[in-house]
Structure 1
Amino acid sequence: MRLLGRLVLGSVALVLAVPCGALVLAAGVLLDPVSRDTVGALGLIGIIEGIDDMAAGLPPDVAIGAMVAFLRALAILLLLPPALVALIGETLRLRALAWYGGATGLLTAALPWIARGGVKPPSGQDALVAEGRVMAVLFLAGAASGLVYWMVAGRSAAEGRPAMDRSR
């Protein structure tokens, strides 16, 4: 019965954490000019233009494929890190605020590097600054979603665990 309760509580926490991370990500991209320009260059502006093309008569299968690819990328970026950190935290019965916020933020910030694999990033001072600022925005988005998860479900992750005998 306890497992079912933890699953429901974890699911509710993830449902609340993912939109919070999305809001922080959107705010970070909109408020930071370097991140806004970088995301614009990566194609987010192209998605908005693609919606205009759909209205102008783009074939539905192409439009649906583009939307599915965009939603898959958002799910990987916003859902995977808090879900993975929550799974590890629940398994190991971790309750630390630093674990949920820090690990989720670090994993979210590292996703572009992980997805890039062995491809070398562009070099130069401007590219490093842009990548660092985008990573900072991603870290904040991940940390926010991790902290929301912790507030809802993480604080009680270790309840029911036998207390350690400190008398010795």
Structure 2
Amino acid sequence: MVMRAIGRLIMVPLAFLLGTAAAVFVLFTLGVEKITHAVAGRAIEADLSQIFEFMRQVSALASAATIVPAIILVIVGEVARIRSSAYYILGGGAALCALPLMAMAGSLSSDLSPLGTLWQVFATAGFAGGFVYWLLAGRNA
């Protein structure tokens, strides 16, 4: 029992880091793809403002507070011994979808139209991160 606890203390943070790395990889890959499509497909004047807005949001999301929803998801899953892949995959997507809303909390703008694409990218990255975490640590919670 003690060895299992020590193993979990090592495996959970390691799986969290690898899941986060997978989510960041997917986020970066899809983000670059969306920016490339925006620049290549439309007039540059209209898209430069969207690119700068995207970069501003990415810089706001780079703070340490962005991992709080994911950490809460992992803690609840570990304490409740949830082994379902759906919990970690959907929870990871929901945790990352909350990030654009958290970033816009201080903004005076109430226009949510550019958030649709952002939510798609963040949800996909969260799904990938949640799946990697579940593969490594969640299924043995």
User: Taking structure 1 as the reference length, what is the TM-score of the superposition?
Assistant: 0.64
Matched length: 129
Shift of 1:82: 3.1
Instruction: Return the alpha-carbon distance in structure 2 between the equivalents of residues 38 and 144 of structure 1.
Output: 29
After TM superposition, list the pairs within 5 Å mapping 1:13-162 onto structure 2.
13-32=15-34, 33-34=37-38, 40-42=51-53, 44=55, 70=59, 73=62, 75-77=64-66, 79-117=67-105, 121-123=109-111, 128=113, 130-157=114-141
| Structure 1: segments with no counterpart, 5+ residues | 48-69, 158-168
SS in structure 1 of the partner of residue 82 of structure 2: coil
Structure 2 vs 1, CA of residues 107 and 93 (structure 1 numbering), >3 Å: closer, same or farther? same
| Structure 2: segments with no counterpart, 5+ residues | 39-46
Per-residue CA deviations over 1:62-83 (Å, capped at 9, x if unaligned) read xxxxxxxx59725444x43432
SS in structure 1 of the partner of residue 121 of structure 2: helix
More helix by share: 2
Structure 2 vs 1, CA of residues 137 and 73 (structure 1 numbering), >3 Å: closer, same or farther? same
Structure 2 vs 1, CA of residues 38 and 16 (structure 1 numbering), >3 Å: closer, same or farther? farther
Larger radius of gyration: 1
User: Taking structure 2 as the reference length, what is the TM-score of the superposition?
Assistant: 0.75
Cross-structure match for 1:166: none
Kindly provide the amino acid, as one letter, of the partner of residue 55 in structure 2: L
Shift of 1:18: 1.2
Structure 2 vs 1, CA of residues 91 and 134 (structure 1 numbering), >3 Å: closer, same or farther? same
